Amino acid sequence: MLLILCITVISSCQAAPSGYSGVFDGSAGRWVDLTHSFAESTIYWPTDTAGFQLQELAFGQTEGGWFYASYQLASAEHGGTHLDAPIHFADGGLMNDEIPLSGLIGPAAVVDVSEKVDPDYLVSIEDLTTWEAVNGDIQDGAILLIRTGWSDRWDDRTAYLGTNMTGEEAVAQLHFPGISEELAQWLVDERGIVALGIDTPSIDYGQSSDFRAHVILYRENISGFENITNLDLLPVTGSFVVALPMKIKGGSGGPLRIVAFVPAELGS
């Protein structure tokens, strides 16, 4: 009996890699990058005026005869495509490095409201229940992705933020969609999502003055992914998100590389 068990375990271990190979060689589906590149033009919250900085330290042929390139970078946590760790708006919430992988990886539910948004649109409970009437309830452990279409404006800072101003006075001039306080509470009370991503600068809409969506979700240790893109390339259900931020000990967020795997049976 022990011999049979050992053979079974060994066979399973040997077979596992081939079972996953299709995910990584492209034969079982495709990967979609949901991340904006970081560059001098990357959009930050108006009060983070330093932006993204990449300083060249070395670039070219060395005296030893080989090519060598090296840079140093500087960035606020909350700019470009980034993670909001729960501690960002919740005293005692998880810090960046404390978020388990189960809070960053999971099946995606993509809710598209792009046909109805305006610069001050609040994604509502009705938007979600209408989506669920067609696609079924959002499953526990899911990562909810809200597509507003705002990422199409990424190359135009004024169109994306609603203003080109910077500093504290700019905050009152922000205009972009976000989720409503009521929806945030409904998600906490009625659904078991582990994270929420959106293709705008914030999960709260631009004119928010109390950031209630942040507070409600983050105090339940539901993380946020902001300034994501390419949600139009995902099916409404069936894809799988991997969202891995720079792991900053004690951080309230950080730059994020977020991707999604779309199985081949869901189409190209």
Give residue-wise pLDDT tens across range 172-185: 999 999 999 999 99
Pairing of strands 237-245, 105-112: antiparallel
pLDDT digits (tens, 9 = 90+) for 41-69: 999 999 999 999 999 999 999 999 999 99
Specify the pLDDT at position 193.
98
Q: Which of 9, 41, 14, 50 is nearest to 155 (CA)?
A: 41
Note whether residue 17 is domain-resident.
no
DSSP 136: -
Query: Per mean pLDDT, which range of 22-31, 132-141, 143-152, 183-192 is the poorest?
Result: 22-31
Distance, in Å, from the CA atom of 154 to the CA atom of 4, rounded to the nearest integer, reads 58
Total of domains in the chain: 1
Q: Within a domain: residue 236?
A: yes
Whether 62 maps to a domain, the answer reads no
Residue 17, pLDDT score: 47
Q: Helices in the chain by DSSP H: which ranges?
A: 2-25, 125-135, 157-161, 168-171, 181-190, 212-218
- Amino acid at site 128: L
Determine if residue 258 is left, alpha or beta; phi over 0 gives left, psi from -120 to 50 gives alpha, anything else beta: beta
| Residue 70 is assigned to a structural domain of this protein | no
Q: Output the pLDDT for position 18.
A: 53
CATH number, domain of 182, equals 3.50.30.50
128 found inside a domain: yes
Give residue 25's pLDDT: 86
Residue 100 lies in a domain: yes
Rounded to two decimals, the pTM is: 0.92
Domain of 93 in residue numbering reads as: 30-48+77-266
Residue 164: inside a domain, yes or no?
Answer: yes
- 94, 268 in Cβ contact below 8 A? no
